[in-house]
Amino acid sequence: MNTISPAAADAVAADRHAASARPTGFVHDTATVFVRESRPLVRDPFSVIFSLVQPLVFLGLFGPLLVGAAGGDVAATLQWFVPGILVMVALFGTASTGANLLFEMQTGSHERTLVAPLSRSALLVGRALKEVVPLVIQGTIVVLVAVPFGFRLDVPGLVAGLAVLAVFGVGFGALSYTLALGCRNRDWMFWMVHQTLLFPLMILSGMLLPLEDGPAWMKVAAAVNPLSYLVGAERALLAGDFGAPAVLGGIVAAAATCAIGVFVGVRAMRRAR
Amino acid sequence: MTNQTNQMITAHGLTKTFRSKGQTVEAVRSVDLSVATGELVAFLGPNGAGKSTTLRMLTTLLPPTAGEAIVAGCDIRTDPAGVRRRIGYVGQGNSGGHTQRVRDELHAQGAFYGMGRRETRARSAELIESLELAQVANRQVQSLSGGQKRRLDIALGLIHRPELLFLDEPSTGLDPHSRANLWEHIVELRRATGTTIFLTTHYLDEADQLAERVMVMDNGAVIADDTADALKGSLAGDRVTLTFDSPSDAATAAARIGGEVDGADARVVTVTAPGGDRALPRYIRSLSDAGLEVAAATHRQPTLDDVFLALTGRSLREEAAAPAASAEELETAAA
């Protein structure tokens, strides 16, 4: 039934093995996963803009209230509020990214990548690194939108601020993927944890309203919330104040989130089946 | 390392046990199997029989509880990476990412298998052409029809020209037209490349039409393993039905040819005979020699459902309609 001669069959087999012998290390695999994950963003950039609706609503509708409460100084209020919105972009954007993986687990896409000769760690890290792309684009847009209203742009500060956010975003994205891997086909569990954690984390970071006037327990909660340090660092960095003590705190918080997120994420992906 | 033997898959004592809430479920019980290079083998059985669990062990997705298997020359336990490089796998679900474009997904898949950029592009174009995906190549996967998605799944499984292709329930959920179309592609793939194919199915006609050999699985064990014709011949046999004018003629005839009297008015005799199409004229001749006039006669070849019925006492058609808890559900519950 098979008309291929033995010699030709051997040549085909040798060819197959030449193709399969190409080295596929962690870096190659991570880059490959990163490229696959980023492609829909490149093909459909509008999706990046679309997820900006929420932060822009906060900026446009919450901002004026803050301005009123602060006594009418728009520029000063924006200087305080915009860095918080940047952290919000990083938080909301990356927190729900696990839902994409959850969906791919329920179809067959995730399974396909598990059967492919890819490093499991790369499957997680490549996905988490992708979070940087929308985050940087969205953060830049938010800042540019605020400039005409009096926000004073410090370019090196913005670059540094986005870099710190990117590190945080990779970690928080990895945590979201970990949650997805743990929930498997239980969507409701993913969204329940997501909703339960997200808003307290946001409010107890001082992102929207200052916590200085809040009760003591709130200040304690904020002190253990890594996002508080991130918000503090972003406020300093976007003002160009690289030497502020808050900057170091934010870098540590972002790095810790990243380290923990990637560690638990890689562990969960290695166990995935 | 090339295959020294001409066996593409050999497995011994493959076993998978799931533990869930204090309950132990033996999804796969000590399965032995072998598939020769170039063969097309179907794994037939009802939902929950353990077909997919076996497949998931052979494709390194699931570690076996016990047993061993060599797939495409590599040990699934000690060299899963080797297995993964050499096999293609098309799972039950659709494997293209929803927001990905068809062509992009094929390019990503090529990169997953370490193929170079040019090689990947050329191979993708080839597969898009041969699997009739040209019209949708630049569309998002979510906009594709069920049949198109399935053809993309197969293209993704073939990007690296694997020597062995696993297909898990390839045509489940497709309409009859798309199924026939998919089968054509599978047959053509076999003809053109000689790729070894191992597929699971709970469709009788799929196993019957596509496979050179059928392994019947039930309750986690392989209960029969042969060509479809041999299974039908040895286990079910052809059914010959003879109708007579009177019950007394029927009774005499039944005694003479070793059949059973059937039918509402006891005028019908059925007999199971291998090679029933040849037996039928013999029966008629011998009965008319004895003065018994046959009023009507039919001959029916057995189906794989008759085989399953003979093996288990249950009909696979009914099983498929009312699926038991699948191994996948058990797996999820156990996690």
Measure A85 CA to nearest chain B CA, in Å. Answer: 28
Residue B295 has pLDDT above 60, yes or no: yes
Stronger pLDDT, B48 or A123, i.e. the higher one: A123
> Distance between CA B183 and CA B175 in Å, rounded?
12
DSSP 3-state assignment of B217? strand
Interface test mutation site (partner B, options A97, A107, A186, max chain B beta carbons within 10 A): A107
Instruction: Tell me whether residues A117 and B91 touch, CB distance under 8 A.
Output: no
Amino acid identity, position A69: A
Give A53 to chain B, closest Cα distance, Å. Answer: 20
Query: Cβ–Cβ of B100/A23 closer than 8 Å?
Result: no
Residue B229 pLDDT grade (very low, low, confident, very high; cuts 50, 70, 90): confident
Could you tell me if A140 lies within 8 Å of chain B, comparing CB atoms? no
Over the stretch B103-132, which tens digit does the pLDDT of each residue have?
A: 999 999 999 999 999 999 999 999 999 999
More confident residue, A63 or B12: B12
| pLDDT at position B217 over 80 | yes
**In chain A, domain spans:** 24-271
Give B129's contacts (C-beta < 8 A, 6+ positions apart).
none
Residue B35 has pLDDT above 80, yes or no: yes
Query: From first to last of its 273 residues, what are the pLDDT tens digits of chain A?
Result: 344 444 444 444 444 444 444 455 899 999 999 999 999 999 988 888 888 888 888 888 888 888 888 787 888 899 999 999 999 999 999 999 999 999 999 999 999 999 999 999 999 999 999 999 999 999 999 999 999 988 999 999 999 999 999 999 999 999 999 999 999 889 999 999 999 999 999 999 988 888 888 899 998 999 999 999 999 999 999 999 999 999 999 999 999 999 999 999 999 999 887
Q: What does the alpha-carbon distance between residue A178 and residue A268 come to, in Å, rounded to a whole number?
A: 6
Average pLDDT over residues B193-211: 89
Decide if B97 and A40 are in contact by the 8 Å CB cutoff: yes
Residue A44 amino acid letter: D
- Chain B within 8 Å of A6 (Cβ-Cβ)? no
Per residue in A53-99, pLDDT (tens digit) is: 888 888 888 888 888 887 878 888 999 999 999 999 999 999 999 99
Closest by Cβ to A108, choosing from B92, B99, B108: B92
Contact state of A117 with B112 under an 8 Å Cβ cutoff: yes
Q: What is the pLDDT of residue A24?
A: 55
Of chain B, the end-to-end C-alpha distance in Å amounts to: 36
Domains of chain B: 7-232+323-334 (3.40.50.300), 238-300 (3.30.70)
How far apart (Å, rounded) are the C-alpha atoms in residues A268 and A246? Answer: 33
For B55-77, what is the mean pLDDT? Answer: 95
pLDDT tens-digit profile of B151-190? Answer: 999 999 999 999 999 999 998 888 888 888 889 989 998 8
| A115 closest CB neighbour out of B59, B100, B111 | B59
Structure token digits, residue A39? 């492609």
Give the per-residue pLDDT at B319.
60
ipTM value: 0.84
Residues of B in contact with A185 (CB under 8 A): 332
Q: Tell me the two tokens of residue B267.
A: 């005028």
Q: In chain A, which residues have their Cβ closer than 8 Å to the Cβ of B161? A: 12, 15-16, 19
Q: Give the burial class of A218: count Cβ atoms within 10 A of its Cβ; 0-12 exposed, 13-18 middle, 19 or more buried.
A: middle
pLDDT (0 to 100) of residue A66: 85
Residue B94: which of A2, A35, A108 has the nearest Cβ? Answer: A108
- The alpha carbon dihedral of B45, B50, B52, B58 has a sign of negative
Note the residue count of chain A. 273
What does the buried/exposed string (b/e) look like for A59-93 if buried means 16 or more CB atoms within 10 Å of the residue's CB?
A: beeebeebbeeeeeebeebbbbbbbbbbbbbbbbb
Give the three-state DSSP class for B317: helix
| B21 vs B19, more confident | B19
Decide: B7 and B34 in contact? Cβ < 8 Å: yes
Stretch B311-320: mean pLDDT, rounded?
73
- What is the total residue count of chain B? 335
* Enclosing H/E stretch for B268: strand B268-273
Which of A47, A109, A273 comes nearest B61 by C-beta? A273
CB-nearest to B156 from A4, A104, A112 is A112
Q: Which residues of chain A does B113 touch, with a Cβ-Cβ cutoff of 8 Å? A: 19-20, 24, 116-117
Chain A residue numbers with beta carbons less than 8 Å from the beta carbon of B92 are 108
* Predicted pLDDT at B5: 61
Residue among B81, B91, B116 whose CB faces A108 most closely: B91
Top residue of B62, B112, B164 to mutate, by most chain A CBs within 10 Å, is B112
The 10 Å CB-count burial string (b at 16+, else e) for B138-162 is eebbeebeebbbbbbbbbbbbbbbb
Distance from CA of B250 to the nearest CA of A (A): 48
Contacts of B332 in chain A (CB under 8 A): 184-185
Phi/psi zone of residue B67: left (φ > 0), alpha (ψ -120 to 50 degrees), beta?
left
